[in-house]
Amino acid sequence: MTTQAIEGGKAKRKAAKQAKTDAVARAMALAPDLAARIGSTPKTKFRGDPGVFGRLVEDHDKHRALLAMIEETAGKSPERQRLFEELVKELKAHAAAEEQALWSTVLRDPETTDDARHAIAEHKEIDDMLADLAARDMASPGWLRRFAGLKDEYLHHIREEEQEQFVAAQDHLQPADVRYMHRVFNRRKKEEKAAAKVEKKLKLKG
């Protein structure tokens, strides 16, 4: 390996580390007294990338931190209420903007239709789980158990996006598309988040 390649690799790792630290710090700003134990994150080449995929991973890392922080809260505390509301709005706005900016285009290419379909179907499942949790008593002991189910589902979703669907999408997109998607995502995420509401609806049994 050339010195240049080694230096390039180092710079990339540094950018990835910084991107993750910044994303976690944004979540922690909402409840500075809580720890965000997100642990090690699954490997992805997109973390710290200046394009749309790096931007999406930045959101994912913030979501990982929010999920970990909610697990540190107890009962119907103001912190749990505030963080859960933020999580719902973040996840809804992220999913909607990701569909509008990325998956709608990826869906139109027969080579990647299944990747987009998979991600969108999981968005619906996650949305149902969020509405179900919102409809239940946060103070009950079962709430955190149900929340752990949502956390597993969401962590699975974003790991698959980062390691499978984003990889397939990038292979089939032109650099100009990716730049355009980055702008669309930023604009749509902001608008979707401002309009996002916490829906309460029991959807799951038991």
- The contact set with Fe ion (CB under 5 A) reads 98, 161
Buried b (16+ CB within 10 A) or exposed e, 127-151: bebbbbbbeeebeeeebbebbeebb
In the complex, least distance from residue 158 CB atom to Fe ion, rounded to whole angstroms: 6
> Which of 70, 93 has the CB closer to Fe ion?
93
**To the nearest whole angstrom, how small is the minimum distance from the Cβ of residue 130 to Fe ion?**
13
What DSSP line would sit under 44-79, residue for residue?
Answer: -TTTT-SSHHHHHHHHHHHHHHHHHHHTT--TT-HH
Q: What are the DSSP calls for 137-156, one per residue? A: -TTSHHHHHHHHHHHHHHHH
CB of 141 to Fe ion, least distance (A): 30
27 versus 34: smaller Cβ distance to Fe ion: 27
Q: Kindly tell me which of 68 and 97 has the beta carbon lying closer to Fe ion.
A: 97
Judged by beta carbon, residue 58 or residue 161, the one nearer Fe ion is 161
- Provide, rounded to whole angstroms, the least separation between the CB of residue 40 and Fe ion: 19
110: Cβ contacts below 8 Å, ≥ 6 apart: none
